[in-house]
Structure 1
Amino acid sequence: MDAARNTQVHGERAERSGSRIAVVTGAGSGIGRAVAVELLRSGWSVALAGRRPGTLEETAALAPGTDALVVRTDVARPQDVTALFAAVLGRHGRLDLLFNNAGTFGPGGVPVEELSYDAWRHVVDTNLNGAFLCAQAAYRQMKEQDPRGGRIINNGSVSAHTPRPRSAAYTATKHALTGLTKSLSLDGRPHGIAVSQIDIGNAATEMTAKMQSGVLQADGSTAPEPVMDAADVARTVRHMAELPLEANMQFVTVLATGMPFIGRG
């Protein structure tokens, strides 16, 4: 059976079973874990991608009896991304959703003049290059599969709008991700590929734990900030994911209501 026919057969099987196929990167913790569990519990088949297989297995264990596929992936490595999507295609034959979530803040609190090139490059490779590689692989699959099309949701940040102090690398990548989202959204139209971005502020995860004890503010002071439950973000992502492809929530911002984002901070 040739590759094109194999893809069609698997796609027909997935369609008949009603299963929807998702890839979630950075699924071993935080937002990625919350979204993966939400999708699994809602009947999606989900490929859990991340650098640490042990934490991915822990994510899968939070939704027992569901269809989770663990794939060890460093999104900054093209060969890992190729292997991830090959594994999904081999198991399911199609892809309906990519949640492009893997990311890193980098060294926190480092003044820009002290930020090493290696640290800058690590953040760019993970947050921007990794998102591009995964989106490219998903786009190729969605364009060729039958029925064609699918959805890509990029995890932006409120830092795609307004930076925190001493966050040059992270902020630059999140602004760039907005441009990538717009470009992919435009290019995906003829192929039934909907691309959107969710900008998240102060979800309670390992990455934001210190916010409740105090973080640097724009005026130089240190102050605690409110956080929200990551499950609220996950429900928002699922709502975006389950829209018909004829509809798209292009940009969505979900944040802790009281965080210093709107206003003068």
Structure 2
Amino acid sequence: MRGKGKFALVTGAGSGVGRAVALALAGEGYAVALAGRRLDALEETASLAGAEARTLPVSTDVSNPDSVNALFERLRAEFGRLDLLFNNAGMNAPGVLVEDLPAEKWLEIVGVNLNGSFFCAQAAFRMMKEQSPQGGRIINNGSISAHAPRPDSAPYTATKHAITGLTKSLSLDGRKYDIAVGQVDIGNAATPMTQRMQRGVKQADGRVEVEPTMDVANVGTAVCYMASLPLDANVPFLTVMANKMPFIGRG
């Protein structure tokens, strides 16, 4: 078990990609802190990990720096160190015309997707810098939207492009502390967020088409691979996607 004796934090661990990655890391022997807004969902993830797994559910609002600081205080008290942060918590807006998007929704998405990722990474830097042995790994959840947008997705796409810039900047800043920073860009993993793809989603030319999806467990496998590398090696960007989804070329 490659993660035995190591400690991880997964944000947005109550469902979807976050849950799949948390379960994969627990299966590799990591002790995993599970962060998210709904404690009941985090406790369900912990239950799915099994009685032998060491998990720590912590109700957290990543868009609130005080809540993030409280989360990391729990980590220090319970784990003593942090080897891996999977910065996953995120949300999307209903597909509405950009001119009809409420300002409150824009601010909410930026608050969770971008600000939350920064607050967690900043706290992880502080902890990884101070611990002995020094260092650790941060993996940000980007999205294929970090490369190419869907129609009517300005807030989500803008934040995911920003995550790419954050990943690059943190990767440079982390080198002096042996903190390796990378990003996984995911396309059409089967989660509650992608259920609409079974009914059809708007394409760039306005058509509505059903899109293939893949088992979300593949994302867990990809993240575990990135996490398995020694800190003198890094995967800056990894894309894992449903093979037949419309992304490469014209789909």
Measured against the shorter chain, the TM-score band is: over 0.9
Which position in structure 1 is the counterpart of 2:184?
198
1:245 to 231, 245, 248: 231
Alpha-carbon distance in structure 2 between the residues aligned to 1:154 and 1:119: 22
- Displacement of 1:109 after TM fit? 1.5
| Residue pairs, 1:97-112, within 5 angstroms | 97-106=84-93, 108-112=94-98
Match of 1:47 in 2: 33
The AA in structure 2 aligned to 1:40 is A
Aligned-pair identity in percent equals 62
Spell out, residue by residue over 1:75-101, the C-alpha distance to the aligned partner (whole angstroms, 9 max, x if none): 001111001111011011100000000
Query: 2:65: which partner in 1?
Result: 78
Structure 2 partner of 1:148: 134
Please tell me whether Structure 1 or Structure 2 has the larger radius of gyration of its CA atoms: 1
Residue aligning to 1:58: 44
| CA distance in structure 2 between the aligned counterparts of 1:113 and 1:145, rounded to whole angstroms | 47
Where 2:18 maps in the other structure, the secondary structure is: helix
AA in 2 matched with 1:260: P
Q: What is residue 246 of structure 2 aligned with on the other side?
A: 260
Aligned equivalent of 1:189: 175
1:163 partner letter = P
Q: How does 1:158-169 map to 2 (within 5 A)?
A: 158-169=144-155
2:113 alignment partner in structure 1: 127
How many Å apart are 1:213 and its aligned residue?
1.6
1:209 matched to 2:200? The reply is no
Normalised by the size of structure 2, how large is the TM-score? 0.97
Q: CA RMSD in A?
A: 1.0
Counterpart-to-counterpart distance in 1, 2:34 and 2:180: 21
1:162 match: secondary structure: coil
Shift of 1:153: 0.1
5+ residue gaps, structure 1: 1-16
2:4–2:28 contact (8 Å) kept in structure 1? no
Hey, what does 1:8 align to over in structure 2?
A: none
- Give runs of ≥4 in structure 1 deviating > 2 Å: none
Structure 2 unmatched runs, 5+: none
Normalising by structure 1, we get a TM-score of: 0.92
* Partners of 2:4 and 2:30 within 8 A in 1: no
- After TM superposition, give the deviation of residue 262 of structure 1 in Å: 0.8
Out of 23, 48, 52, which is 2:9 matched to? 23
Q: Is the 8 A contact 2:9 2:33 kept in 1?
A: yes
**Alignment length (residue pairs):** 248
Task: Give the residue type in structure 2 aligned to 1:89.
Answer: R
Instruction: Indicate the SS of the match to 1:62.
Output: helix
Task: Indicate the residue corresponding to 1:90 in structure 2.
Answer: 77
Q: What one-letter code is carried by the residue in structure 1 that aligns with 2:159?
A: T
Match of 1:235 among 221, 224, 249: 221
From 167, 175, 179, the equivalent of 2:161 is: 175
